[in-house]
């Protein structure tokens, strides 16, 4: 099995390590970091991803990369055998997300170097030194203006209108406070077939419950 991993808001792919480490040796992974430049659209990100992967890939999109994956399915359907969205979204993820473009720089700086409370929200009981260290290292490498740009992108999302036939799996994190469960309706209206797995874990599901995520992905593999 070959898995293509598309990262969340940081865009680095560094946070996939806990998930990759628990995979059996016969599973191959390819992490595609996002283009780390302000102004790059979802469509441009998808074109770049398409240039880096083989046809008929199983694509796993985490959080922010949901729209990148959707554009990949739209523009380059031959590249995607199956799409797996992990705590992700293709419309505004919550009612508060419409204000994402107005988040103060002070708050974004806190996200780059989170205190114990924010770490608890992000990772729950899994907020150990190794995981939080990886998170801080990944976020520290992302400029504030890039984070602001991506939050503005999220704030401007509209519900998709096209219908896609590519098999879709959605991994819903039960303790996710960043993405509303209502996003499932949008996925069900966008993909002709959606399999939903509800798992214990926070928004960072591949980091807080990698075993459960892998079991769900394996069960849904075509």
pLDDT digits (tens, 9 = 90+) for 132-154: 888 888 888 899 899 999 999 99
Q: What is the pLDDT of residues 173-184, one digit of tens each?
A: 999 989 999 999
On whether the CB atoms of residues 96 and 33 are closer than 8 A, the answer is no
Question: For residue 207, which of 20, 3, 10 has the smallest C-alpha distance?
Answer: 20
Q: Write down the pTM of the prediction.
A: 0.92
Produce one character per residue of 171-200: b if its CB has 16 or more CB atoms within 10 Å, e if not.
Answer: bbbebbebbbeebbebbeebbeebebbebe
Strand partners, 171: 86, 197
Structure tokens given for 8: 């969340």
Q: What is the gyration radius of the CA atoms in the chain, in angstroms?
A: 16
- CA–CA distances in Å: residue 203 to residues 27, 45, 191: 24, 22, 22
Is the per-residue pLDDT at 99 higher than 50?
Answer: no
| pLDDT, mean of residues 58-72 | 97
């Amino acid at each position: 099995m070959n898995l293509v991993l598309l990262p969340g808001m940081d865009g680095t792919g560094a946070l996939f390590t806990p998930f990759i480490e628990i995979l059996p040796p016969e599973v191959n992974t390819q992490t595609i970091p996002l283009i780390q430049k302000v102004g790059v659209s979802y469509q441009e990100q998808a074109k770049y991803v398409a240039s880096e992967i083989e046809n008929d890939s199983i694509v796993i999109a985490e959080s922010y990369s949901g729209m990148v994956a959707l554009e990949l399915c739209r523009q380059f359907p031959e590249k995607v055998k199956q799409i797996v969205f992990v705590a992700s979204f293709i419309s505004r993820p919550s009612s508060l997300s419409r204000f994402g473009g107005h988040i103060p720089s002070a708050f974004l700086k806190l996200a780059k170097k989170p205190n114990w409370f924010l770490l608890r929200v992000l990772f729950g009981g899994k907020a150990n030194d190794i995981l939080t260290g990886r998170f801080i290292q990944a976020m520290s490498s992302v400029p504030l203006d890039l984070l602001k740009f991506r939050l503005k992108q999220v704030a401007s999302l509209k519900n998709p209108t096209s219908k896609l036939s590519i098999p879709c799996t959605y991994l819903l994190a039960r303790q996710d406070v960043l993405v509303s469960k209502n996003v499932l309706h949008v996925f069900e209206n966008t993909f002709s077939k959606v399999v939903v797995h509800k798992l214990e874990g926070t928004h960072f599901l591949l980091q807080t419950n990698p075993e459960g995520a892998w079991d769900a992905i394996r069960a849904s593999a075509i």
